[in-house]
Structure 1
Amino acid sequence: MMNEKNNTINEEVEPLSNKNGELTEENAVESVFDETETIEQNEVNPFEEEIQTLKNKLEEADNRYLRLQADFDNFRRRTRLDSEASEKYRAQKLITDLLPALDNFERALKMEVENEHTKALLQGMEMVYRGLLEALKKEGVEAIEAVNKEFDPHLHQAVMQAEDENYASNIVIEEFQKGYLLKDRVIRPSMVKVSQ
């Protein structure tokens, strides 16, 4: 047992001695430095793994935060655009409901007048009609011009085609029902006859 202890001690002391078996200061310093480095490496490795794990978690959290921020910015922009569109086209439902009344006014105003009483009645109707048109114009409503214009499928609805030598091909010859725009949106396309 004593021999085993001596062997262990000799093994530990051996690297500290030179070829003659003498202990040198340089060997002792190198040995202590090597042991310290080994201990530090063993102690630092677990911390490095933990630091790396924390860095990864921080990076994931940053990425989630940036995505959340982008989603929130997109939500705000969509909400603003929806609000602007809602404000811009707020009167569309009312205007759509009024269009048949305007059509009826236009038909009534085309009547032939036979006496003064009917003429006075038509003048009153024309005043109401103009008042409606002015109110609609203030909201941004305007009639789509169709006759003698080139057919545009976004603005016109062709219900008939006809050959007419007086018109070039694809030109609106006649309008059956007026179309209307609300600002830049078509509320109702014009119903038209188009030349072939």
Structure 2
Amino acid sequence: MTKKHKKEDIEKELAEEIENEAVLEEIVDAEIDELAVLQEKLDEMENKYLKAHAEMQNNQRRANEERQTLLKYRSQDMARKILPGLDNLERALAVEGLSEDVKKGLEMTLDSLQNALKEEGVTEVAVDGEFDPNFHMSVQTVPADDTHPADTIAQVLQKGYQLHERNLRPAMVAIYQ
């Protein structure tokens, strides 16, 4: 082979290599573009999955909270219906002239009702001290004096009750004004 042929062969090989590199570069660029598109789709699907998963967890949490609230306050309606009977038993016990047997029977009935309500979380509203409109309903006013400051409870006319922290019935009170 002559120098001319060698040079031509080298140039040919070089041209083929350059052409092969260009083709490979095009293939690599196409693969990179396709990979970028697939990565974008993957990211989008992953975001959708994470959002759906978070939404599902939130729904489960809300359902559990609602279930707990329903269980906690399940006896609310029944307690509201029993309270007038409880008041009537207390009024009956306040009547003078009852025989000891009747009085004992009324006390036992009252105690059993109070215990049943207590087991369900029903408690009396505190009525000592300051008037609180969240727990007390003022139905009368009494003039305040030096020993009884204004906005304090003078007398309880009807007991109030709450179920856990929820008010079932405010205490009806007379307050000093």
Q: Report TM bin, short chain.
A: 0.7 to 0.9
Q: Which residue of 1 aligns with 2:66?
A: 82
Q: Which residue of 1 aligns with 2:157?
A: 176
Residue correspondences, number: 174
1:164 to 127, 131, 144: 144
1:59 to 43, 65, 88: 43
Confirm or deny that 1:34 pairs with 2:34: no
Structure of higher CA gyration radius: 1
Distance of 2:138 and 2:156 partners within structure 1 = 9
So what's the TM-score if we normalise by structure 1?
0.77
Q: Secondary structure at 2:7's aligned position in 1?
A: coil
* Paired letter, 1:50: E
* Paired letter, 2:142: A
2:111 to 122, 126, 130: 130
Taking a change above 3 Å as real, the CA distance of residues 155 and 28 of structure 1, as seen in their structure-2 partners, is same
Question: Which residues of structure 2 form unaligned runs of 5+?
Answer: none
Structure 1 segment 8-157 matched on structure 2, within 5 A: 23=7, 27-113=11-97, 117=99, 119-146=100-127, 148-157=128-137
Distance of 2:111 and 2:138 partners within structure 1 = 28
Taking a change above 3 Å as real, the CA distance of residues 194 and 33 of structure 1, as seen in their structure-2 partners, is farther
So what's the TM-score if we normalise by structure 2?
0.84
Percent of aligned pairs sharing the same letter:
32
Question: Which residues of structure 1 form unaligned runs of 5+?
Answer: 1-19
Distance of 1:28 and 1:50 partners within structure 2 = 33
Give 1:159 deviation, angstroms: 2.7
* Paired letter, 1:167: H
Taking a change above 3 Å as real, the CA distance of residues 31 and 177 of structure 1, as seen in their structure-2 partners, is same
Taking a change above 3 Å as real, the CA distance of residues 96 and 27 of structure 1, as seen in their structure-2 partners, is same
Distance of 1:162 and 1:25 partners within structure 2 = 120
Mean CA deviation greater in 76-85 or 29-38: 29-38
Q: Which residue of 2 aligns with 1:5?
A: none
Q: Which residue of 1 aligns with 2:170?
A: 189
Give 1:185 deviation, angstroms: 2.0
Distance of 1:31 and 1:159 partners within structure 2 = 105
Give 1:95 deviation, angstroms: 0.8
Higher relative contact order (CA 8 A, sep 6+): 2
Q: Secondary structure at 1:169's aligned position in 2?
A: coil
